[in-house]
């Protein structure tokens, strides 16, 4: 008996000794936990991405959370929007040798990469990847040349394998981290693998854009590595053991694409999914009531604002009277935003006066310049009269000077809350005398820039709030046939003064100057009434108690910024 026990102990010892060491084999409990296989984190996502890329290439879209899961950059923003070094050992500090500002306004920033970094395929990461990325993103055919930081960079150099030097044409406040404070906008200078994409770039734009790297053969630097992508169904990923910030604690992730909110709800209740992003507020409330106490948690975060956007291209606009600022103002005064918020979102969404939230000094200062349009049906009717519209005797809807009925279209999305909001807004406007029709932008076309841009009247949509949202605005971002529908200002708004203010805001390094320019931006935007500000979105992250790690964050940070630290029991 003693001999058997002894032999068993020897076998156990030999098995442990012969086992391959973990990727971070330092003897710590964290490394041991990371090395052990476990069940997968199954997450539900509404829309399937067209790519896992960190930034857009032409019209290839990506999603906020997948961008974080599969990619890494020189820096990242934590839950308080503080920039942290990521691929870089440290971040440049203003007025030091690492961040120089010259008398002519030009700048130079220097970053030193962490040692022993590697791509998901094991190829070493060198500073040349940032030189190659700048070459790609600065190419007009790929749709990023007019977006910061590339519109502001004169060149990027790699004096050695671990040093990246960026030369700037002009001041740029986010140059230290390259992370503009707006998580929903693609920011930063994400490196690209020259060893994979270099030959494709030499073969031409079409070959480059259609390379499988952007989809089912994606190779990145983030905490997770793509293993399998079943189009229309799911993707699977495993923890990357050479991740810059350490091996993720959860070894496997499966992301399932479920467009129906009720199906997402059912998957969470059954335990088939452990996390869902973007479930409407109403569905989230149902879930939290049906889950047993302590079974799940909800973190509301806001990274965008919702508005009905007026079509800014005259050739697409119908009816043409929507070009009249008085008509747009009349529509704004005819909406009771507080009642809409209460009826559809249980009053949980913060009301918006412009794209800047009031939860920061910058936002509060900016909104001092915003023109407000409170609910006032009397003022709405007065403005329509001034614009030449009347309600004929016995009629309930406005008609124009030639007797034609004013019949604009309101286009919304297919989600439960979007459908409710579209219906409620159209109904409210009809009661006020505006004969609105309703149409739908299918979920499958949300990332199709041409389809999204080609609406006749108003489109209910969301875009990044705060300063990050400015990256998707301005004339240079307006998509059209000439630009092959590249750009993110799909509403088509173009104003030279607005462009000037965005440029001045981006270049301002002094906080007081940034507040002043933000105030002017809010004033111009709301004076022109490009859209009718409604709410700042609260997009709940809902997850079961089996998952720990997600935390409440600021609007500027990515909600999965610390996913490598999450744990699953």
Stronger pLDDT, 169 or 463, i.e. the higher one: 169
- What distance in Å separates the CA atoms of residue 209 and residue 14, rounded to the nearest whole number? 51
- 79: its two tokens: 């839950």
- What distance in Å separates the CA atoms of residue 398 and residue 144, rounded to the nearest whole number? 43
Averaged confidence pLDDT in the chain: 87
Stronger pLDDT, 16 or 177, i.e. the higher one: 177
pLDDT in tens, 278-323: 777 778 888 888 998 888 887 776 668 899 999 999 999 999 999 9
What is the per-residue pLDDT for 469? 84
What is the per-residue pLDDT for 331? 98
As a CATH number, domain 73-203 is 3.90.76.10
Q: Are 242 and 234 in contact (CB under 8 A)?
A: no
- What distance in Å separates the CA atoms of residue 533 and residue 465, rounded to the nearest whole number? 11
Look at residue 504 and give its three-state secondary structure: helix
Domain ranges across the chain: 73-203, 304-536
- SS in 3 state form for 406-429? CCCEEEECCCHHHHHHHHHHHHHH
pTM of the model: 0.70
What is the per-residue pLDDT for 346? 82
pLDDT in tens, 351-374: 999 988 887 788 889 999 999 999
What is the per-residue pLDDT for 64? 56
What is the per-residue pLDDT for 2? 40
Q: Are 211 and 499 in contact (CB under 8 A)?
A: no
Q: Are 488 and 520 in contact (CB under 8 A)?
A: no
What is the per-residue pLDDT for 553? 66
DSSP states of 42-84: EEEESS--S---SS-BTTB---HHHHHHH---SEEE-TTS-EE
pLDDT in tens, 132-141: 999 999 998 8
pLDDT-derived band of residue 539, with 50, 70 and 90 as boundaries?
A: confident
Q: Which of 266-275, 322-331, 412-421 has the lowest mean pLDDT?
A: 412-421
Q: Is the pLDDT of residue 62 over 60?
A: no
Q: What percent of the chain is modeled with pLDDT above 90? A: 61
Q: Is the pLDDT of residue 495 over 90?
A: yes
What is the per-residue pLDDT for 33? 35
- Summarize the confidence of residues 127-146 as an average pLDDT: 90
pLDDT-derived band of residue 14, with 50, 70 and 90 as boundaries?
A: very low
Q: Which of 242-246, 258-262, 334-338, 551-555 has the lowest mean pLDDT?
A: 551-555
State whether CATH 3.30.70.2190 applies to domain 304-536: no
- What distance in Å separates the CA atoms of residue 143 and residue 120, rounded to the nearest whole number? 26
What is the per-residue pLDDT for 281? 77
- Summarize the confidence of residues 83-94 as an average pLDDT: 96
- 343: its two tokens: 């009826």
- Summarize the confidence of residues 1-28 as an average pLDDT: 36
- What distance in Å separates the CA atoms of residue 273 and residue 78, rounded to the nearest whole number? 26
Stronger pLDDT, 377 or 38, i.e. the higher one: 377
- Summarize the confidence of residues 425-436 as an average pLDDT: 97
């Amino acid at each position: 008996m003693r001999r058997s026990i002894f032999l068993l102990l020897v076998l156990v010892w030999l098995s442990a000794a012969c086992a391959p060491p973990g990727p971070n084999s330092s003897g710590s409990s964290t490394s041991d936990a990371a090395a052990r296989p476990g069940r997968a984190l199954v997450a539900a996502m509404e829309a399937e991405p067209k790519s896992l890329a960190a930034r857009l290439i032409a019209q290839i879209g990506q999603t906020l959370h997948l961008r974080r899961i599969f990619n890494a950059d020189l820096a990242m923003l934590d839950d308080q929007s503080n920039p942290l070094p990521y691929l870089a050992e440290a971040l440049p500090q203003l007025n030091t040798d690492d961040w120089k500002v010259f008398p002519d306004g030009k700048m130079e920033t220097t970053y030193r990469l962490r040692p022993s970094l590697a791509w998901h395929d094991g190829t070493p990461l060198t500073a040349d990847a940032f030189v190659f990325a700048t070459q790609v993103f600065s190419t007009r055919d790929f749709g990023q040349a007019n977006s910061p930081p590339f519109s502001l960079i004169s060149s990027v150099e790699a004096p050695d394998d671990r040093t990246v030097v960026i030369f700037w044409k002009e001041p740029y406040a986010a140059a230290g981290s390259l992370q503009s404070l707006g998580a929903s906008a693609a920011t930063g200078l994400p490196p690209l693998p020259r060893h994979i994409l270099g030959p494709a770039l030499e073969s031409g734009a079409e070959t480059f854009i259609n390379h499988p790297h952007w989809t089912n053969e994606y190779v990145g630097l983030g905490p997770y590595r793509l293993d399998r992508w079943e189009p229309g169904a799911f993707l699977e990923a495993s923890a990357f053991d050479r991740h810059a910030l350490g091996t993720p604690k959860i070894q496997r992730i499966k992301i399932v694409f479920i467009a129906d909110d009720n199906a997402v709800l059912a998957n969470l209740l059954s335990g088939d999914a452990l996390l869902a992003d973007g479930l409407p507020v109403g569905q989230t409330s149902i879930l939290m009531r049906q889950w047993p106490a302590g079974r799940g948690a909800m973190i509301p975060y806001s990274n965008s604002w919702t508005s009905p956007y007026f079509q800014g291209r005259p050739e697409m606009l119908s009816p043409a009277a929507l070009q009249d600022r008085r008509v747009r103002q009349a529509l704004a005064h005819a909406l009771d935003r507080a009642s809409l918020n209460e009826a559809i979102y249980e009053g949980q969404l913060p009301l918006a006066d412009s794209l800047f939230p009031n939860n920061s000094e910058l936002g509060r200062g900016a909104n001092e310049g915003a023109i407000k349009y409170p609910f006032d049906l009397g003022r709405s009717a007065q403005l329509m009269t001034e614009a030449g519209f009347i309600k004929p005797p016995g009629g309930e809807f406005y008609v124009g000077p030639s007797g034609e009925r004013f019949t604009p279209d309101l286009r919304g999305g297919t989600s439960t809350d979007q459908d409710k909001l579209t219906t409620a807004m159209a109904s409210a406007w009809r009661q006020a005398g505006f004969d609105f029709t309703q149409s739908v932008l299918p979920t499958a076309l949300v990332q199709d820039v041409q389809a999204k841009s080609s609406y006749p009247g108003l489109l209910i949509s969301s875009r990044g709030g705060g300063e990050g949202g400015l990256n998707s605005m301005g004339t240079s971002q307006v998509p059209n046939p000439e630009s092959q529908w590249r750009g993110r200002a799909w509403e088509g708004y173009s104003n030279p003064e607005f462009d000037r203010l965005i440029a001045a805001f981006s270049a301002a390094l002094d906080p007081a100057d940034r507040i002043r320019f933000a105030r002017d931006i809010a004033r111009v935007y709301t004076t022109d009434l490009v859209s009718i500000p409604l709410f700042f979105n609260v997009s709940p992250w809902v997850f079961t108690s089996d998952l720990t790690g997600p935390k409440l964050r600021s609007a500027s940070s990515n909600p999965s910024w610390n996913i490598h630290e999450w744990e699953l029991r």
